[in-house]
Structure 1
Amino acid sequence: MQQPSSATADSSAVFSSPADGKKAVAVEFKQVSKSFGVHQVIQQVDLSVAVGEVVAVCGPSGSGKSTLIRLINHLETLSSGEIFIHQRPTAGLSGKALRQLRTHIGFVFQQFNLYAHLDALDNVSLALTKVHGWKQDAARHKARELLVRVGLADRAHHFPSQLSGGQQQRVAIARALVTDPNIILFDEPTSALDPEMIGEVLLVMQELAHSGITMIVVTHEMSFAREIADRVVFMDGGQILEQADPESFFTQPQHPRARRFLQKVLFPLRSAQEQLAKEGKVDELAP
């Protein structure tokens, strides 16, 4: 198969994990902050993610979760602090150096972001031919392998409009894997899906988690965080309030805000009833 002229080969020494196999740090945030105008959405975050670790980032809407992971591959720019990928600083990267960084970091978006005029096969292979210089036959061969991996071998020539939401997201995952990244980021990958389609995407993510790739997943899917993640990071107000292994986080959360969040997410009806009772508004829901 035709190999890329500059996709993974030239950049592997720059952002790949250590060759000695030691359990190193894949992603590290040091005093990272991000503001949009006067609104600070990330406040002096420190976080380390080990090579091969699966980290679930949870928290209420507007807590800064998505912004946090978008900073990793420069979809958003830092206001202050530093982010390191495999111990190497990433601040100020542009041009070829930024493309090299992104080659090693896959990103799966909430809204799929597939090209409507391309079929699944070409959506996956496009970056290899247009950005990394692969021959079309070789790029499509690799794209087919990835579609097999995500269970869509029979949908290679279907356009996004012919695919369900779950199938579109699996194509997006295949696309994120096409450059053989060693880190993959997920920004609420199931939030736009019909509930019946969520499981098929989570199964693919579970297979990835078991493959040894480093994963950082912003999610409201508590089952994924509890059953698949190695660690749960809880955010609110642009800060990390708690980090723990899943068992500890879900059974004995330490921060009061984390406890309130879990109560509302895991027991929404009970939580709403208790809140109304606390406010003396129980009669408002009476028939």
Structure 2
Amino acid sequence: MLSGLRSQSAAGSADFSRLENASVEFRDVVKAFGDHRVLNGINLTINPGEVVAILGPSGSGKSTLIRLINQLESLSGGDILIDNKSTRQLQGRALRQLRSRVGFVFQQFNLYAHLNAVQNITLALEAVHGWKKAEASTRALELLHQVGLADKAQHMPSQLSGGQQQRVAIARALASSPQIILFDEPTSALDPEMIGEVLYVMKSLAHSGITMIVVTHEMQFAREIADRVVFIDGGEICEVAPPAEFFTRPRHPRARRFLQKVLDPLHQERPE
């Protein structure tokens, strides 16, 4: 009991203002909504600078897994360590520090409709991190140039395509120079012709030193860019492997069935 209290106290006082080691470790992680367990005893270590693709069927717990990292969802059991420091029970300043070091890109962009592209990026820098307006604007313009949208700085979200909005969202996630960035199916809300421009930006970030954890249905991205593939089904990790091995020689039967359906969608098992 005392050790548990010490662990909680240490987590509450942890300093996440910068990360010496941008690793993420899941220890016996459990997440339940009522009586329904979405994640059941997840153990996984993601190394600094690694690009990890999280794959699995819909409803398998993929998005919940990464939402636990920066506490968009709360743990039901176990622990998540970032930079070898527990994130349980974080609140206040420590939680804000953590979220400034861990960027998050959502499925639905989540841009503020009444703010232009630059303002969407500068808002948190000014309001949360205390940047001056001029330096925040300079940072925003640099990031818009990085994602290929330098000419869209004054455009409102309604004037941008879905792919452009998601690129603004990526720029916003990068604004505070996070050492870890989480992507929750960043192309799922896009029309097919817009997916490539977002994946191109993500590819340019890969292996830049940022730890990237990507929940995705884009098999080609996972195959070409990821260092490892983590396959989740039924709230459990079924397989962890390099892409070349996972896509050619999946070991777990559930992984084999998943790949067969995803890579050969016309193939369906005949009903009894």
User: Could you tell me the TM-score, scaled by structure 2's length?
Assistant: 0.93
1:170 aligns with 2:167: yes
Letter in structure 2 aligned against 1:118: L
Structure 1 match to 2:196: 199
Residue 144 of structure 1, aligned match among 141, 144, 157: 141
TM superposition shift of 1:17: 3.5
1:212 aligns with 2:224: no
Distance 1:32 1:15, change over 3 A: farther
TM superposition shift of 1:16: 3.2
Could you report, residue by residue, the CA deviation over 1:21-65 in whole angstroms, capped at 9, with x for unpaired residues? xxx561000000000000000000000000000000000000000
2:29–2:41 contact (8 Å) kept in structure 1 = yes
TM superposition shift of 1:226: 0.2
Structure 1 match to 2:80: 83
TM superposition shift of 1:15: 5.5
1:15–1:86 contact (8 Å) kept in structure 2 = no
Residue 18 of structure 2, aligned match among 16, 19, 30: 16
Which runs of 4 or more aligned residues in structure 1 lie more than 2 Å from their structure 2 counterparts after TM superposition?
Answer: 11-18
1:1-287 maps to which residues of 2 (within 5 A)? 14=16, 16-18=18-20, 26-269=23-266, 271-272=267-268, 275-276=269-270, 279=271
Aligned partner of residue 205 in structure 1, secondary structure: helix
Aligned partner of residue 201 in structure 1, secondary structure: helix
In 2, distance between residues paired with 1:224 and 1:164?
21
TM superposition shift of 1:14: 3.1
Letter in structure 1 aligned against 2:84: Q
Aligned partner of residue 23 in structure 2, secondary structure: strand
Aligned partner of residue 268 in structure 1, secondary structure: coil
Structure 1 residues without counterparts, runs of 5 or longer? 1-10, 19-23, 281-287
In 2, distance between residues paired with 1:57 and 1:242?
10
In 1, distance between residues paired with 2:58 and 2:247?
19
| CA-based RMSD | 1.4
Structure 2 residues without counterparts, runs of 5 or longer? 1-12
**Identity rate, percent:** 67
In 2, distance between residues paired with 1:81 and 1:261?
28
In 1, distance between residues paired with 2:32 and 2:17?
27
2:14–2:85 contact (8 Å) kept in structure 1 = no
Matched residue count: 260
TM superposition shift of 1:212: 1.7
Rg larger in 1 or in 2?
1
